Amino acid sequence: MTGEDGTGDADGDRPRRGPAANAELALLLEVAGTPKPGNVDRRRDLANLRFEQFLAGAVGARPGLERAAAGDPVGEAFETAVAGMSEQSGGNTQFGCLLLLVPLVRAAAAGDLTAEGVREVCAATTVDDAAGFYRAFEHVDVAVADPPEGLDALDVRRGADAVPALRERGATLLDVLSASAAPVDESGTPRDANAHEWVAGFPRTFRAAEAIRDDEGPVTDRAARAFLDLLAETEDTLVRTRHGAEVAREVRDRAAEVASLDEAEEWADDLVGRGINPGTTADLTAAALFVALERGVTV
Amino acid sequence: MTGEDGTGDADGDRPRRGPAANAELALLLEVAGTPKPGNVDRRRDLANLRFEQFLAGAVGARPGLERAAAGDPVGEAFETAVAGMSEQSGGNTQFGCLLLLVPLVRAAAAGDLTAEGVREVCAATTVDDAAGFYRAFEHVDVAVADPPEGLDALDVRRGADAVPALRERGATLLDVLSASAAPVDESGTPRDANAHEWVAGFPRTFRAAEAIRDDEGPVTDRAARAFLDLLAETEDTLVRTRHGAEVAREVRDRAAEVASLDEAEEWADDLVGRGINPGTTADLTAAALFVALERGVTV
């Protein structure tokens, strides 16, 4: 059970949630954070993706998160988490969240949940970890941007078929994600915001976690505010992949204008109605919730 | 990991949720079932009990549920589950659910999730299991009825202090719950509906599970309909404990009149406003969801 089942804390004989349990709880608190414009929340389902499927996705991801906490290889832990997550009928619920959570859980379990600690976890990934990441795409359909020019052989949509090309190039998981983290244009926005976290030591995750810790009230309200702040900060890269740069900028600018959760409610209905889903920002919110829970935020 | 982490099923290399994971998912689907008049659901929190605390309670319960699946003593598994559940600031979220789920998980893990199978699990409980049950009350405040006449020494509110009296009488966990299952008056309603399930082979749980399986649409909607049907069937014993027989009958009769989830929405606000919480019926709903998941209902 890798430390999840009730080792006492300083307060006595109460069990304490370990990193894998906190990561699962972060997934649940993320989907319960309301409103999160364009995403599934307590008040909204998407056309083909329901709240209950996120619950099942979080529960299913737990064994992979336990593997990350136990020190198993990052790529295997991630693939196990994604395989478990996909055991529901909605398709991809939390692939991006898990890509962020797995190294964070590993760093937390190793006792160093800091930018430096998680950077070390990412830097230590191998070609085998990259292969696990590619295999994970075979469990579920994930919306991704086209690969950078000249890297068609490493297109993640090839799944396990890309593994020989990975091995030939000796590309580690960090190498693969570095290619996805590069800016797409002169704005400096990365191709994929989750990959950028991997490369840069999770700066947005840790900042948002501090904001959640400094905030007050129910954790799901704090999650919603953190989501809006993250969305106002940088274009959501899933929105850009699906709807183009102009829509991504419009969403970012609108998020910057929203002054309260009440004001965000109406906008949430609008985005859901238009099918615009800032999913990468939800991924970052889940990662930030995990760090906040590990740093003592109480539910 | 007691079979949770990815043993393939007949369909190939996909992991399948084991009984502990399904039990945790049942807890989550229960709280997400909406509307469940008088209870926390996707649209309502109670005055001092929030949706997010049920999420944390479910995540925290998992190690105890894993112990039940692994064949650890029922009383220890239950106490572990309750201790983990109580690792959130809302107090008692799912004590009653867990009392039903632990023997059901054990029966499922043993390959016999039937009335007979769970009856055997309950019949095999020992005095040590009863002691675990009493210790569980020390982790969290639970609303319970006064003990039957002459059984003050076994009042569960005494927690571990009652254990010497348990041992003196040689009372097993099934013995303890049998006393709570006895009818309170000529209506035949048991003192505690959860205890009655233990004694009688979980008849209401299995019936409601079949109804959920035969129903259609999102599982959380099916859960809400199952809740209303269970509430219309028999007085909620938590409501009777807290508000008396008359209010319990009123709630049961009103539930019988509600013809749709839409109609239940308004009533849900009314019950929450009056502080009337049919929590035992929610416990039964969670147990029924577990059985339905084990019998193939897909989320």
Nearest CA in chain A to B297: A88
Region B263-267: mean pLDDT is: 95
Looking at the predicted structure, is the pLDDT value of residue B144 above 80? yes
Phi, psi of A15 (to 5 degrees): -70, 155
Region A257-272: mean pLDDT is: 94
Q: How far is A188 from chain B (nearest CA, A)?
A: 37
Would you place residue A28 in the very low, low, confident or very high pLDDT band (cuts 50, 70, 90)? very high
A51 and chain B: CB distance < 8 Å anywhere? Answer: yes
Q: What is the pLDDT of residue B138?
A: 94
Q: What is the pLDDT of residue B15?
A: 55
Contact B238, B279 (CB under 8 A): yes
pLDDT one-digit tens code per residue, A187-244? 788 999 999 999 999 999 999 999 999 999 999 999 999 999 999 999 999 999 999 9
A17, A51, A59, A94: which to substitute to probe chain B, counting the most B Cβ within 10 Å? A59
ipTM: 0.94
Place of tokens 């947005």: A204
A1 and chain B: CB distance < 8 Å anywhere? Answer: yes
Q: How many other C-beta atoms lie within 10 A of the C-beta of residue A184?
A: 17
Would you place residue B4 in the very low, low, confident or very high pLDDT band (cuts 50, 70, 90)? very low
Region B254-275: mean pLDDT is: 95
Q: How far is B36 from chain A (nearest CA, A)?
A: 15
Q: Name the CATH code of domain A19-173+184-293 (choices 1.10.4200.10, 3.40.640.10, 1.20.1250.20, 3.40.50.80).
A: 1.10.4200.10
CA B169 to chain centroid: 27
Nearest CA in chain A to B135: A13
Q: What is the pLDDT of residue B8?
A: 36
Would you place residue A144 in the very low, low, confident or very high pLDDT band (cuts 50, 70, 90)? confident
pLDDT one-digit tens code per residue, B13-24? 455 899 999 999
- The token duo for B161 is 């202090």
Give me the residue spans of the domains in chain B.
19-294
pLDDT one-digit tens code per residue, A200-209? 999 999 999 9
Q: Which residues contact A273 (CB under 8 A, 6 or more apart)?
A: none
**Residue, of A3 and A181, whose pLDDT is higher:** A181
Q: What is the pLDDT of residue A148?
A: 77
B72 and chain A: CB distance < 8 Å anywhere? Answer: no
Angstrom distance (rounded) from CA A145 to CA A128: 23
What is the fold, at CATH topology level, of the domain defined by B19-294? Triphosphoribosyl-dephospho-CoA protein (1.10.4200)
Contact A159, A138 (CB under 8 A): yes
Q: What is the pLDDT of residue A150?
A: 80
pLDDT one-digit tens code per residue, A6-26? 333 334 445 589 999 999 999
Looking at the predicted structure, is the pLDDT value of residue B11 above 50? no
Region B79-89: mean pLDDT is: 97
- The token duo for B109 is 């893990």
Residue B71 CA neighbour count, 13 Å, CB half: 5
pLDDT one-digit tens code per residue, B100-126? 999 999 999 999 999 999 999 999 999
Looking at the predicted structure, is the pLDDT value of residue B10 above 80? no
Q: Is B260 exposed, middle or buried (0-12, 13-18, 19+ CB in 10 A)?
A: exposed
A14 and chain B: CB distance < 8 Å anywhere? Answer: yes
Q: What is the pLDDT of residue A11?
A: 43
Looking at the predicted structure, is the pLDDT value of residue B5 above 60? no
B51 and chain A: CB distance < 8 Å anywhere? Answer: yes
Nearest CA in chain B to A27: B55
